[in-house]
């Protein structure tokens, strides 16, 4: 194909910084936009196929036989009044309907996101928004292109507000229609708005200085800026891991010490047994937003903390909470928490290194409308386009590999809790949580492999039962 005919193809944004600029003969400029859109469509088609499989799985009306057989074995260890299988069978239809509503809505949301992405690319949304940011910054603040970092913050503010507005209808429907319909949402409209405003405020207060410093480091760092950017991301990650639970999370939820009693004593005893330096034990008022339940840990060094959702305390017994915490502590004891942190840092290092190799690829930016050779490419634009184009396939593959790794870690943490002597309690506890959260009882195999960071319930229960048989 003759590259001189490239202007005849529909792979040039409608808005470009310089409409009369003659396209170069660089294949990257010619193909970058087309390949990005093609990749976006392929990902949408593949994930849509998996969504369709999951939707059909939610339309099944027969209770899954494997789950029935597995839970029957759990019930054999308990009296008839607390049997779990009848409860699961009773809520099977509700679970299927909940999942069907969620996957149907997710398919609509995904279709819109893909449509928006492609339209924005073809219209030249990024170069148009950047040029308008330059105009606004000059008109109201007197900034010029020499003030690139300041203009970048204006640009990101506009992008953030546009993203917030376009995603808001989907968030409202998910929260106040789907979650409310199935009895999970406890959030009032006032609380929803307050949370959204707090989130935006934190985005600007924390995200603004973060982006400004990152851009400054990239500009200052020379050819090896990726090393300095990597170090900055490491420090920022550590700071945020320290500050988020202490300063930011309390802005959204109330954390109160777990009342003195048998459960508190047993949790501290379990922590001592595993040499986990537990300093504080909290209960979080998760019920003010949702009836979903959870538990998590955080902290550095010898200052570890455990948080239990108040909904979790209502849904399971104390011995089951201990088993669940045995699982969570297993993640810590087996090094999963540290491994995930190290993996994240390696990801940042690799991403910044490859970005440094493409930083001066003007043809890439020209393909998306930044084709005015007289203007330097803004660093924030270079970052956004790199992650949206060249890095996107890598990111997709790494995301899948991390999902696979996460599932492996979940099995390992289950095994850890079983080895602590909590097998029966963990099996019943997980089943109850699954029951109360209307979790999927017969998920599609390929959908779960691609999307689930936790293995399906029946796989986890079967694995624990296999361990029990080996120890007998």
pLDDT of residue 408: 96
* pLDDT > 70 in the chain, percent: 96
- Mean pLDDT across the chain, nearest whole number? 91
Q: How far is CA 5 from the centre of its chain?
A: 42
pLDDT of residue 472: 67
Looking up tokens 């027969």, which residue turns up?
62
pLDDT band at 448 (very low <50, low <70, confident <90, very high): very high
Burial string for 186-209 (b: 16+ CB within 10 Å, else e) reads bbeeeebeeeeeeeeeeeeebeee
For the stretch 107-155, pLDDT in tens is 999 999 999 999 999 999 999 999 999 999 999 999 999 999 999 999 9
For the stretch 324-354, pLDDT in tens is 999 999 999 999 999 999 999 999 999 999 9
Q: How many CA atoms lie within 13 A of 337 on its CB side?
A: 15
Which two tokens mark 178?
Answer: 């789907």
Structural contact between residues 331 and 276, judged by C-beta atoms closer than 8 angstroms: no
How many whole angstroms separate alpha carbon 280 and alpha carbon 301?
13
For the stretch 416-433, pLDDT in tens is 999 999 999 999 999 999
- Secondary structure (DSSP) of 402-428: HHHHHHHHHHHHHHHHIIIIIHHHHHH
Looking up tokens 């991301």, which residue turns up?
233
How many whole angstroms separate alpha carbon 32 and alpha carbon 14?
15
pLDDT band at 298 (very low <50, low <70, confident <90, very high): confident
Q: Does 401 score more than 50 pLDDT?
A: yes
Q: Does 470 score more than 90 pLDDT?
A: no
How many whole angstroms separate alpha carbon 213 and alpha carbon 221?
12
467 vs 81 pLDDT, higher one: 467
Catalytic residue ranges: 328, 414
Can you tell me the mean pLDDT for 159-172? 96
Burial bucket for residue 278 (CB in 10 Å: 0-12, 13-18, 19+): buried
How many whole angstroms separate alpha carbon 178 and alpha carbon 392?
31
Can you tell me the mean pLDDT for 291-313? 85
Q: How far is CA 382 from the centre of its chain?
A: 23
Can you tell me the mean pLDDT for 204-219? 96
Q: Does 63 score more than 80 pLDDT?
A: yes
């Amino acid at each position: 194909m003759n590259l001189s005919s490239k202007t005849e193809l529909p792979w040039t944004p409608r808005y470009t910084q310089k409409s009369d600029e003659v396209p170069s003969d660089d294949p990257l400029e010619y193909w970058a936009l087309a390949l990005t859109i093609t990749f976006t469509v392929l990902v949408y088609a593949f994930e849509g196929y998996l969504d369709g499989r999951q939707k059909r799985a939610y339309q099944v009306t027969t209770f899954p036989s494997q789950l029935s057989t597995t839970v029957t074995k759990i019930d054999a260890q308990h009296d008839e009044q607390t049997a779990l299988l009848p409860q699961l069978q009773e809520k099977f239809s509700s679970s299927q309907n909940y999942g069907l509503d969620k996957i149907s809505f997710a398919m609509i949301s995904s279709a819109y996101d893909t449509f928006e992405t492609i339209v924005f690319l073809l219209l030249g949304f990024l170069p148009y928004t950047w040029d308008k940011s330059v105009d606004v910054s000059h008109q109201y603040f007197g900034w010029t292109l020499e003030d690139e970092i300041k203009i970048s913050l204006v640009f990101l503010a506009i992008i953030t507000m546009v993203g917030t507005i376009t995603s808001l209808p989907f968030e409202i429907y998910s929260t106040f229609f789907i979650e409310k319909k199935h009895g999970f949402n406890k959030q009032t409209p006032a609380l929803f708005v307050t949370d959204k405003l707090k989130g935006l405020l934190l985005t600007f207060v924390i995200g603004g200085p973060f982006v400004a410093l990152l851009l400054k480091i990239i500009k200052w760092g020379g050819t090896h800026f990726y090393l300095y950017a990597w170090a900055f991301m490491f420090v920022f990650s550590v700071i945020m891991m320290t500050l988020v639970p202490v300063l930011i999370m309390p802005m959204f939820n109330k954390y109160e010490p777990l009342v003195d009693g048998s459960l508190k004593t047993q949790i501290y005893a379990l922590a001592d047994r595993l040499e986990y330096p537990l300093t504080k034990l909290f209960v979080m008022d998760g019920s003010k937003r949702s009836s979903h339940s959870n538990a998590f840990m955080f902290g550095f060094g010898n200052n570890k903390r455990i948080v239990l959702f108040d909904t979790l305390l209502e849904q399971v017994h104390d011995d089951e909470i201990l088993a669940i915490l045995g699982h969570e502590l297993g993640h810590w004891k087996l090094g999963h928490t540290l491994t995930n942190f190290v993996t994240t840092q390696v990801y940042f290092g690799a991403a910044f290194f490859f970005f440094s190799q493409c930083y001066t690829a003007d043809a890439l930016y020209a393909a998306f409308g930044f084709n005015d050779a007289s203007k330097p490419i803004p660093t924030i634009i270079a970052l956004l386009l790199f992650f949206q184009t060249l890095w996107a396939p890598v990111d997709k593959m790494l995301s899948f590999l991390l999902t696979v790794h996460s599932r492996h870690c979940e099995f390992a943490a289950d095994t850890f809790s079983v080895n602590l002597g909590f097998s029966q309690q963990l099996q019943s506890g997980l089943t109850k949580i699954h029951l109360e959260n209307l979790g999927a009882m017969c998920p599609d195999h390929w959908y779960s492999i691609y999307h689930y960071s936790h293995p399906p319930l029946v796989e986890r229960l079967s694995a624990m039962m296999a361990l029990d048989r080996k120890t007998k």
